[in-house]
Amino acid sequence: MKLLILNGVNLNRTGMREKSVYGTETLEDINREIAAFCAARGAECEFFQSNLEGDLCTKIQETDADGIILNAGAFTHYSYAIRDAIASVDTPVVEVHMSNVHAREEFRHQSVISEVCKGTILGFGKKSYILAAESFLL
């Protein structure tokens, strides 16, 4: 089992931006934890982050992973391109968010990708990624 952990726009700033919302650990710290969690269960992980919408679409199209864990960041709320990329492949995608987007600003309440994802996990900080990984490994 191979999982692609895909992070979108501004997620490279995790640990440095809005610490009260996203915590103080960097994306690298979080990725290390996800990798250890997966390795302990015999799964392989690949990590990719980009601030560019098209890069994320290409990665979704070209990955050889068995499943994708996707935090698209703000793209979640308006990127029909990412939505269509997900719909164009058979690879199951689990949408994740560290924060509870429904408890935040109105514009974050809508996800244009949820409908084409297998499921959504949100509001558990870095554990959202771990819970998403677990959903593939159960």
Residues engaged in binding ligand DQA (CB under 6 A):
10, 71, 73-74, 76, 97-99, 101, 108
| Cα separation, 114 vs 138, whole angstroms | 21
Q: Which C-beta is closer to ligand DQA: that of 8 or that of 67?
A: 8
| Cα separation, 85 vs 69, whole angstroms | 14
Q: Identify the sign of the CA torsion 51, 99, 119, 92.
A: positive
Q: Is 97 a catalytic residue?
A: yes
The three-class DSSP label of residue 134 is helix
Q: Which C-beta is closer to ligand DQA: that of 1 or that of 124?
A: 124
Do 77 and 13 contact (CB within 8 A), yes or no? no
Q: Is 22 a catalytic residue?
A: yes
Q: Which C-beta is closer to ligand DQA: that of 31 or that of 71?
A: 71
Catalytic residue among 97, 102, 109, 129: 97
| Cα separation, 138 vs 121, whole angstroms | 15
The catalytic residue positions are 22, 97
